Structure 1
Amino acid sequence: MRGGDLISVRKKLMLILAGIVIVLGLFIGYCSYEYALNMVTENKKSEMADTINRIDININFWGLEVTRLAQRIVDGNIAGEAFEEQEAGQISHLNEWVSDYAHIIEAVSDIIILDTERNIRYHYLEGLDMLQDGRRLQECFEAAQSGLRGERWLGRGNSLYQGGEAVTLVKAIPMKEKDRMRGIVVIEINPEIFRSLLLSNQSLPISQYTFIVDKKGQILCTNRTVQPKWLEKIETTFQNGERSFILEWDQETYDVFGQYNGLTGWKTYSVVAVQDIFPQAAQLRGTIAMIVMLAVFAGLVAVTVLSCSITAPIRELSNAMKQVEQENFDIEIQSRRKDEIGHLITSFHYMVGKIRQLICEVYQKKIEQKNAEIRALQAQINPHFLYNTLDSINWMLIERDEQDISDVVISLGEILRYAVGGQNHLVPLGSEARYIESYLFIQKNRLEDRLNYQWELAEDTLDVLVPRLIMQPIVENAVIHGIEPLKKGGVILMKAWIEKEMLLIRVTDNGRGMNQEELEALREKISGTDEIENIGMRNIQRRMELTYGQEQAMEIESVQGEGATITLRMKVCRAV
């Protein structure tokens, strides 16, 4: 016995359902956690991308305002007036115009106009004429010279004339020839304005890095200290065309989002550790695990109740079947269930009732069989008595020299012995032919010259087995209905041959025959169930179907005035 056969159906059902509940619970829990984590992560990433986008928009806003200011100074003859000797009133007018515009742009900390000799032609912050960083001034002139028709953002560096740092915009003041530089306009912006952009647009994660980098890769402003090598790796990946990417650094994974500003050439980055995007992930995981455990426990309780409701009546049915095995057919299971198990119990009751009924019927048949055997033993005495009686009559006829009648009695005895003396259903065709020969001998003694018959049996057909008495009704019909009604009589031809592993027996007479209506009526009667007419022919058809399984085992053809032909087809079967 296999080990699995020792486990009850209830335990198997509970194990299967419990496994399904556990697997399903774990799968739903895992999918729920992954869905929530992905949804929150995508939202946080979207917030980070939106953050740097807002910062970039503000950079564009301040950049455009400062660029427009520089453009107005150069194109609005303000720079030209600064290069001419002006009276005090006119200089005051220039100061008033620049001061009003600079106050509108709160990010501007200083405006300076210098000629090519690096002399100050105009300074927004009066009294600060001491140069603080000569290299920064040289950088301003080089940037202006390289772009006579545009503005150049230098990024963060030392202020030219005031202490501290500033973000510088430089624009060349061209001469009338347009290909030479008359001087430059330097506008310095307080870098704290950009730091305020970072602080006002931070995302939720506390550990998020947000910083702005200029063209040279120098940080203009940041909310947290950024390591130079870290920044170099971010810059390299960003310059390769990736705007959103994963950064591995110090065994930690970061999500990086970058935005390039086309006006200034600066880049804004937002960087956050993956584990800090959703810090409540561990708490969510624990909550989902608890919910899954509770759901699995509830599912197991439901599985137990369900398995008991299914297996209890099955166990009761199994016990009842054991009672039936012990020949207790009066067992009955009380159940009001209307489901499949209820139908099963109903079927069990029906089966037990049928078994009880069949037992009674078998018992009754056994009694009847015994009675039939007794009657059969008694009936065997009667044929023996008939054989002896016919034998006595035959000797009496011989003594009186009645040889013709004696031959008829002998033929009758052979017919009787063949008809009731054999127990085999199938007999060789040769034996069947001898029986028919005895029958025709009797009929010829009655009809004399009006009846003639011929045999054409192939040699290889004589040992083929055929149903007993299969030809007698056909030959009898040929004599009675075909030959006897004619005064001139007729001939009956009996042929047998083998064709394609099939035995064909054909009986043909040249007697009265049948018209088409009579032929169709005969065919219908043979295939019908009428027990009064054509019993012999219908018996042949039925026996052929039962023995060989052929629906068209017998074929009947007839023409009125020319006779009839009946052909039997059966499989070749020989005695072993």
Structure 2
Amino acid sequence: MMGGLRLRTIKSKIIAVFIGFTCMVVMLQFGIFQQWIGTMILDNSESYFQETVHQIGKRMELQLKQFRTMAEGIGRNQVVINYLADLKFQQINYQIAKYKINYEVLRVTKLDWVDNMVIYPVYDPPINLYYTVPVFDPEPSIENMLQSNYNPPQKSLLWMRLHNSTNQISAIIPIDENGRLGVLSIGLKPAIFSEILDEAKIGKHGTVYVVKDGVIVYAQDPALIGVSVSKLQQDRDTQVEYTMDEAGWTLIGRVPQSELWNQITKFNRIFVLMVIVLLAAIMCFAIVAMRLVLRPLKIIIKGMERVQQGDLTVVLAHKNEDEFGRILDHFNYMVERIQGLIQTIYKQQRHQRKAEILSLLAKLNPHFLYNSLDMIYWKAIMKGEDEIGNTIVALSNILRYSISQKDEFVPVAEDMKQLESYLQIQKLRFEDKLHYHFDIPPAMKNCQIPKLLIQPLVENAIKYAFRDMKDEGCMTICGQLEDGDLVFHVIDNGIGMSSEKVEKLIASCEMQSEETGIGIRLVHQRIVYLYGEGYGISINSEIGRGTTVSLRLGERKLLI
């Protein structure tokens, strides 16, 4: 059962990733996003609700300030004051004073805000300036204010509820000049509130109340006017209060909690629908992606299976120009290269077997040569020919080093020692006209290089550079380390070469040939074979000024 649950194919892995991603999205939706987004929506809704109530409150506050300005303007109107003074001291007829005051007040009053407006003279009956219900007698509170010795705590404007209109609030303004002349009472009309509040929208079911001293002065539901706010407390409502500058006045906005949560529920439904659509889109994308990815993979797998069975004639045809097309092209190239390498290795094995046979045949002669040279050496020593003896020893060392069965790589010091033996023989040949010098840093002496790699270059220099030598010939073999590479220079003061000949010689180094022999071309091809491209021989020469042949070798890491 567990074996059947293992994800062995890319298709099953993609499906597993999709299922895991779906589960993660659903868990985040119901575990984190829903709560987080719900809280965010609730906070934003409450902030918007609070800002709306504050904006309405500021407008209502401005309305009350305009009303106060109007009412206090009537109370300070000098014409009204003069007529009330004449009436108090019985210097004018009551009817005439009433007419004059009425004319003056109605001229400067915005009647849309006024329900009842009455002036109570000190000694005369009330003057009804504008009224819905006429007033004939002052109430006890007004009667008390008409007494000249009564000083209310606020001399400009008082807000009161008169007994003849329980649910209506009135603005009371004492009129004074050298004593009490009267009291102005202006009953507020609901229009002063409805102009603003009836246009205010706080959600679908939200309401706004104008409250004075804890009692509702205006509400869109007339039944609530005069009701105490404390009786309206509901645990499921969100309430925002705005306190106005007018003392005792407050604006209260209330929105049911269910209305705020309805927005969250609506958003959750939209979000769930979006998640379903998103997952469906991802599923369609996964199906298309599987087809686009798995089809080329199946072609590649079938091609690999044929190569695994030994069929190297596989060519995967395709029309794609995308990444899979490039993979198929590389696969075809790889198969072609494998087939070519197999053929190359087969040819190399044939040459190697031929070389091994020749090597076995050649081993018959070295033992005879060693014994012969040893006999000649002792004959020369016995006759006092030390120079000839030393030459024989150098030749014997060269022969032994060349045909030894040691590793192909040897230390630099050992190869330089063999090269010095070769130069000793050549020096005798040229009767001391040949001078040589080695300049190898100590750090290079233990480095590994291919055996007999530099000697062919020295042979070429002696053969061609000193061919018509009349003066003494000098040769320097030096080495240096550059960025981890080993660089050798074979420098001579011979006849040199022209630039055309140097270019021709360099070009011949890049030619592939099965010819055997010792020469610059074979040395270069040997270096490239062992170390790869970027390594090999470079030549710098001028006619009459000598030649410098340089070799660049890498670290001892073979490509074969």
Q: TM-score range by the shorter chain?
A: 0.5 to 0.7
Indicate if the aligned counterparts of 1:52 and 1:270 stay in contact, CA closer than 8 A: no
Report the Cα distance in structure 1 between the residues aligned to 2:387 and 2:304, rounded to whole angstroms.
71
**Structure 2 match to 1:258:** 242
- Asked if 1:93 corresponds to 2:99, the answer is yes
Match of 1:109 among 96, 112, 116: 116
Report the Cα distance in structure 2 between the residues aligned to 1:99 and 1:443, rounded to whole angstroms.
142
Report the Cα distance in structure 2 between the residues aligned to 1:520 and 1:230, rounded to whole angstroms.
118
Indicate if the aligned counterparts of 1:411 and 1:439 stay in contact, CA closer than 8 A: no
Cα-to-partner distance string for 1:393-426 (whole Å, 9 max, x where unaligned): 969x99xx99899869956862662364223442
TM superposition shift of 1:378: 3.4
Residue type at the aligned position of 1:369: Q
> In the TM superposition, what are the counterparts of 1:153-552 in structure 2 within 5 Å?
153-155=158-160, 157-159=161-163, 162=164, 164-175=166-177, 180-190=178-188, 192-193=190-191, 196=194, 200-205=198-203, 207-214=205-212, 216-223=213-220, 252=236, 254-258=238-242, 260-262=244-246, 266-277=249-260, 279-331=262-314, 333=316, 335-381=318-364, 383=366, 410=392, 414=396, 417-418=399-400, 420-424=402-406, 425=408, 426=410, 429=413, 433=417, 436-437=420-421, 440=424, 444=428, 467-468=451-452, 470=454, 474=458, 485-486=469-470, 518=496, 528=506
Residue type at the aligned position of 1:67: E
Residue type at the aligned position of 2:162: N
Residue type at the aligned position of 1:84: F
CA shift in 2, pair 1:151/1:74, >3 Å: farther
Report the Cα distance in structure 1 between the residues aligned to 2:52 and 2:84, rounded to whole angstroms.
44
Cα-to-partner distance string for 1:153-190 (whole Å, 9 max, x where unaligned): 224x224xx45454233333333xxxx42233231305
Indicate if the aligned counterparts of 1:21 and 1:299 stay in contact, CA closer than 8 A: no
Report the Cα distance in structure 1 between the residues aligned to 2:229 and 2:430, rounded to whole angstroms.
136
CA shift in 2, pair 1:493/1:312, >3 Å: closer
Indicate if the aligned counterparts of 1:144 and 1:151 stay in contact, CA closer than 8 A: no
Indicate if the aligned counterparts of 2:498 and 2:541 stay in contact, CA closer than 8 A: no
**Structure 2 match to 1:239:** none
Residue type at the aligned position of 1:90: I
Report the Cα distance in structure 2 between the residues aligned to 1:358 and 1:340, rounded to whole angstroms.
26
CA shift in 2, pair 1:402/1:529, >3 Å: farther
Report the Cα distance in structure 1 between the residues aligned to 2:430 and 2:280, rounded to whole angstroms.
100
- Asked if 1:77 corresponds to 2:85, the answer is no
TM score, norm. by length of structure 1: 0.65
Indicate if the aligned counterparts of 1:213 and 1:268 stay in contact, CA closer than 8 A: yes
Cα-to-partner distance string for 1:18-73 (whole Å, 9 max, x where unaligned): 65577679779969988987877666555544443443444344444433333337
With 341-350 and 64-73 compared, the bigger mean Cα shift is at: 64-73
CA shift in 2, pair 1:492/1:206, >3 Å: closer
CA shift in 2, pair 1:522/1:566, >3 Å: farther
Residue type at the aligned position of 1:83: K
**Structure 1 match to 2:73:** 68
Indicate if the aligned counterparts of 1:154 and 1:167 stay in contact, CA closer than 8 A: yes
Q: Which SS does the other structure have where 2:182 is aligned?
A: strand
Unaligned 5+ segments in structure 2 are 510-517
Residue type at the aligned position of 1:270: G
Residue type at the aligned position of 1:378: L
TM superposition shift of 1:508: 11
Cα-to-partner distance string for 1:334-378 (whole Å, 9 max, x where unaligned): 543332223323322332233233333333433343333333333
How many residues align? The count is 524
Cα-to-partner distance string for 1:500-533 (whole Å, 9 max, x where unaligned): xxx9999999xxx569xx59979978994566xx
CA shift in 2, pair 1:471/1:166, >3 Å: closer
Report the Cα distance in structure 2 between the residues aligned to 1:301 and 1:497, rounded to whole angstroms.
67
CA shift in 2, pair 1:9/1:437, >3 Å: closer
Report the Cα distance in structure 2 between the residues aligned to 1:419 and 1:151, rounded to whole angstroms.
129
Residue type at the aligned position of 2:403: G
Q: Which SS does the other structure have where 2:151 is aligned?
A: helix
Q: Which SS does the other structure have where 2:325 is aligned?
A: helix
Q: Which SS does the other structure have where 2:300 is aligned?
A: helix
Residue type at the aligned position of 2:116: S
Indicate if the aligned counterparts of 1:52 and 1:258 stay in contact, CA closer than 8 A: yes
Report the Cα distance in structure 1 between the residues aligned to 2:321 and 2:478, rounded to whole angstroms.
65
Cα-to-partner distance string for 1:233-282 (whole Å, 9 max, x where unaligned): xxxxxxxxxxxxxxxx87546251515245x7633232324543574542
Residue type at the aligned position of 1:87: N
Indicate if the aligned counterparts of 2:438 and 2:476 stay in contact, CA closer than 8 A: yes
CA shift in 2, pair 1:196/1:555, >3 Å: closer
CA shift in 2, pair 1:370/1:550, >3 Å: closer
CA shift in 2, pair 1:108/1:552, >3 Å: same
TM superposition shift of 1:142: 10
Report the Cα distance in structure 2 between the residues aligned to 1:32 and 1:323, rounded to whole angstroms.
57
Cα-to-partner distance string for 1:464-497 (whole Å, 9 max, x where unaligned): 68854856865995799679945xx869899999
Report the Cα distance in structure 2 between the residues aligned to 1:494 and 1:332, rounded to whole angstroms.
56
Residue type at the aligned position of 1:260: M
Report the Cα distance in structure 1 between the residues aligned to 2:337 and 2:148, rounded to whole angstroms.
114
Indicate if the aligned counterparts of 1:51 and 1:203 stay in contact, CA closer than 8 A: no
Indicate if the aligned counterparts of 2:209 and 2:216 stay in contact, CA closer than 8 A: yes
